[in-house]
Structure 1
Amino acid sequence: MQLLEIQSSVRQDRSVSRTLVSKFIYQWQLFHPEAQHQLRDLGQQPPALITAEWVAANQTPAQDQTETTKALLAESDALIAELFECDRIVIGVPMYNFGIPAHLKAYFDNVIRVGHTVGYNRDTATFKGLLTEKQALIISSRTGSYAPETPAATMDFCVPYLQFLLNFLGIQHVDYVEVPYQGMGGKIQQQATETAIARLMELAEVW
């Protein structure tokens, strides 16, 4: 069993998503002491943005790759290898301006590649994710509550987008724990955080 931790907050200290991801992983490892753990910290080491040269290299057939094109794709290849090697993925993601951090978007731009993580059937014009038999958990902090079936849910372009991308890659088992009302202070923030932690501790036992 191998767990891949993906952190996307730009903050190290006082990051709610980082703190709760760490709490969850610590509890989860108590039930899986044999599991290996790898950290991919996008907040501290953002992946490179894709460029026109990157796109051209990605579209170059394997037999025609050069040292230059291979170098352009090296980071993407490494990120994809991590995904294939892991069994569980935990993503800590704060909501930035109703969406995901830019460096998390850059990460998915690097790992969503036809022929590598996604198959494409030209006859039916359909895609098939290749990262199967994996589970993912999204832990998302935000200043308000954007829970499903609430009035603000339509403004959440963070978690639904992530869920779609993970499903597109073939990861169909995706759990989600919202950490709302962060930065508001007082009892409402404390209660929301405690509720999220309690949910994560329960999930760690069965996930």
Structure 2
Amino acid sequence: MTTLLHLDASARPGRSGTTVHGSHSRRLSHHFVSAWKATRPQDEVVYRDIGAAPPSVVTGEWIESGYTPAHLREPWMHKVLAESDALIAEIRQADVLVIGVPMYNFSMPAPLKSWIDNVVRIGATFDYDRSLENPYVPLLAERHRRTVLLTSCGSSGYGPGGVQAHLDLLTPGIASPLALLGLTEVHSVAIEHAEDHGDLLDQSIAAALARVDALVGQLQAA
């Protein structure tokens, strides 16, 4: 059985095509999970709506707790790290991470950044060994996990080689910290032209949904 960890990070509560002002990224992530379950109904989906319920931001107490060896932590430190522990446990359980996330000001929404800050934790998901040429040691590379980024943006041309590719801080901002943990395989599908509306948006949505269907088949075959 395969386990999917499904995250939505959009501030918009509904899905485009279903709800007025609904989220395009939620539409893509819902479509991915629905298509996956249509052919593999036995697989498990763990869902977390971080757009509606953002993880706590990292504080000084969090940092102090995280850098204290586990056997030396005081009770309050374990309490501070409890949410981080739960989020990390969900990643450990997962085989595929499905992340629906819109581009906000060329980067990610704050709730997803808080999620990343909670799961990138020294001694828990990565270690640091200064004797190595690359001192960062992933701790979640014990088995292969795949990441699927399902994004939306107001304009277009943010993909590799695009005229606005240099402005895409969203994709590398997610892929790089996940690679630090050992999650190096990333697939991306985007809906573009959200601010253009009309035919350009409609065509982009149709193309993105088709790519999602193809990606589901590709990953299931693998």
Poorly superposed stretches of 4+, deviation over 6 Å: none
Among residues 21, 30, 54, which one is paired with 2:62 in the alignment? Answer: 54
Mapped to 2, the partners of 1:12 and 1:160 lie a distance apart of 25
Aligned length: 207
Distance 2:185 2:40 in 1: 19
RMSD of Structure 2 on Structure 1 (CA): 1.1
List per-residue Cα deviations over 1:132-178 (Å, max 9, x = no partner): 21001001100111111011000111112212122121111110111
- Percent of matched pairs sharing the same residue: 36
- Write the letter of the residue equivalent to 2:189: V
Who is 2:191 aligned against? 179
Further displaced range: 117-126 or 18-27: 117-126
TM-score, normalised relative to structure 1: 0.97
> Quick one: which amino acid aligns to residue 89 of structure 1?
L
Contact 1:120/1:128 (CA < 8 Å) preserved in 2? yes
Query: How far apart, CA to CA, are the structure 1 residues paired with 2:138 and 2:70?
Result: 20
- Check the 8 A contact 2:155/2:194 in 1, yes or no: yes
| TM-superposed deviation, 1:188 | 0.3
What is the one-letter code of the residue matched to 2:211?
A: R
How far is 1:119 from its partner?
2.2
Q: CA deviation at 1:31?
A: 2.5
Aligned residue in 1 for 2:153: 142
> Is 1:140–1:179's contact at 8 Å kept on the other side of the alignment?
yes
2-structure distance, mates of 1:179, 1:129: 31
CA contact (8 A) 1:31 1:205 kept: no
Gaps of 5+ in 1: none
Q: What is the 5 A alignment of 1:52-91?
A: 52-91=60-99
**Structure 2: tracts of 5 or more residues without a match:** 15-21
Q: Which amino acid aligns with 1:183?
A: E
One-letter amino acid of the counterpart of residue 170, structure 2: C
